[in-house]
A and B are shown apart, each in its own frame.
Chain A
Amino acid sequence: MRFLLRRLGFYLIALLVAVTINFLIPRMMAGDPVQIMFARFQGRLSPESMESLYQTFGFVRGPLHEQYAAYMSSLLQGNLGISVAFFPVPVAQVIGSALAWTLRLVGLATIISFTGGTLLGVIAAWRRGGFVDTIVLPITGILNSFPYFWLAMLALYIFALHLGWFPLGQAADTDLIQDWSDPVYVMSVIQHMLLPAITIVVTSVGGWLLGMRNNMIGVLAEDYITLAQAKGLPDTRVMLTYAARNAILPSLTGFAMSLGFVLGGALLTEIVFSYPGMGFTLLNAVNTRDYPLMQGIFLIITVAVLVANLIADMAYVMLDPRAR
């Protein structure tokens, strides 16, 4: 419990830092942040609405700490401002729908990649010099050195454009209405999710494989493994419940740490596949200079990563009695 509370405290500090960065970025840049940020709202909003928008981002008259307080209080009310690109939809609402798509895609791909990679790593360490160790491992290593977005581009070019196996982008057929009870729509969503998910899995599985393999090799040298084997326990039992369970702990911490990385990488996948998640929305925001939306997306991705880390910590406590 103490461990979890400590972690919770750490995540709160991290969140505070992220919020502060968000607050400081516009103020540290050359030029007038108010002008840069709100120029595109001019003429589209009434003076009163403009005034409340300034308030939202803490551009109030007064010293920095008062501005900070104003910014924090509007954040605590869940107010992230208004989007330029999707005017006049509030940023929070734009992000809400985008986040759902990203979580579906990235969540699925990450779980497949983590379990698959970890299992392969167990096998690679158990059978040194075997198929996984000498063939699969180097291949994933090579794939890992390719730029993520470029592999996605290539996959799109070959499998969607030339072979026609997958749709060319988007999250579902554009002429279908979003209706989760309609099997046609759900099928279309799954179809559209496959290729981006595969590219994420293929490029990220190698990291899990290598990490788990190296942990396993360390654990396999321990005396209790020899003892378990000497007792005549079946191989699978020694491999999974004796070795893998202990070897997975560092991988799990790595899992938490990599979530930010995965989310970041997925931003690029989404951009290539025009998948309407956080990444694609962020690109839109960058291209249209939608500063409120950009800031909001950064903040929400950070929150998502912190929450995912907290969940990973809980899993850690469950797996490792020493952490309790």
Chain B
Amino acid sequence: MERTETTKSTSPAIPLQSRPINLPGRILGAIFPAWLRGILRNRKAALGVSILTAFVLIGIFAPVIAPVNPTRMIGRPHEAPSAEHLLGTTRQGQDVFAQIVHGTRTSLTVGFLTGTVVMVIAIVMGLTAGYLGGWVDEVLSLITNVALIIPSLPLIIVVSRWIERPGPETIVLVLSLVSWAYGARVLRSQTLVLRNADFVAAARVVGEPAWRIILFEILPNMTSLVVSSWIGAVLYAVLTQAALEFIGLGNPNMVTWGTILFWAQNNAALLTNAWWTFIPPGVCIALVGFSLTLINYGIDEITNPRLRTEAGLSPTPVKKRKAARRTEERLSA
């Protein structure tokens, strides 16, 4: 009480201009909102976010980083890496470094776009089923479980072949339609927990419509689950996209990480020792995958403290057990 009064009385005394405004802090606060700072405090997640940000920047500034046209023949076929061509050339004499840099854009766009569409479908299916319950839940859960059990990769391959229009758009479409089920299932079970919460009951009493309760009461309370499912979906999309393009179901004339691997395989890069054509794209995919995995581990640890790898939280920590054994031995001796 006293405190508020002092601030009240002193504030007019300080001239407006000289009032200490923490400008850098405010800017930082705007760029790094509290939840992001929370994630970044976790070491695993911070490393993941940094790697991912680096790739996103590479994707955005691709034409600046590698001004060379990635599809043009600019050297002899299968040149080894040199100062001129950092990662050598392909069989067609294209610059591998330029291909990697430009491929980042398509690969990441497809990954994030697919991940987002997948999550939207998963949210609609999972939350509707979980909240409404009854026969709606029965039907939606049945659809989800069937979609989950039908092996996706063969289905994706067959559908992609029939569509006959290879390219990133097709991959986004097919992947989204086939891979939403896992997320829907996870979100549904969380919704089942939340629908009995007091604040949901309160909203129902107030007379909020179901869609409002689902979107504005339940959904915001499972943000971490949605984010980690989204990241999982992006990871799956990045890897599956590469796999599809690798087996020739992408557009081979486009430059993506998967098509670089496709051409490497078709040009017998393995047998001719042209390692620079197939190692870098794989490493890039793996780094993106690794960063996403790290972020998810981080989120897991933040939201579920039990999983933290800290001896003190373990029910039977190694150190304590060893110490106990030592005292036991000493006693028996």
Contacts and interface: CB of A to CB of B under 8 A. Distances in A.
B238 to A, nearest CB: 8
Contacts of A309: 149
B76 to A, nearest CB: 23
Given A128-B317, A150-B261, A260-B151, A283 B161 contact: no
Contacts of A225: 315
Contact of B314 (A129, A149, A154): A129
Contact of B282 (A36, A146, A156, A282): A146
A129 B285 contact: no
B246 interface: yes
A302 B149 CA distance: 8
Given A144-B293, A147-B282, A149-B246, A157 B270 contact: yes
A146 B315 contact: no
B261 to A, nearest CB: 7
A257 B162 contact: no
Interface stretch (A13-21, A43-51, A77-85, A177-185): A13-21
B271 A147 contact: no
B290 interface: yes
Interface in A112-152: 126-130, 133-134, 141-142, 144-151
A36 B24 CA distance: 64
A217 B307 contact: yes
A145 B235 contact: yes
B36 interface: no
Given A145-B286, A267-B153, A267-B154, A25 B317 contact: no
A89 interface: no
Interface stretch (A59-67, A290-298, A314-322): A290-298
Nearest to B242: A147
Interface in B127-145: 142, 145
A123 B248 CA distance: 42
Interface string A215-243: 00110110001000100000000000000
Interface in B302-316: 306-307, 309-311, 313-316
A130 B321 CA distance: 12
A220 B265 CA distance: 48
Nearest to B258: A147
B162 A271 contact: no
B148 A257 contact: yes
Interface of B: 142, 145-146, 148-155, 157-159, 161-164, 235, 239, 242-243, 246-249, 261, 265, 270-271, 275, 278-279, 281-282, 285-286, 289-290, 292-293, 297, 306-307, 309-311, 313-319
Pairs A-B, 7 closest by C-beta atoms: A264-B153, A145-B289, A128-B314, A260-B151, A150-B282, A145-B290, A146-B286
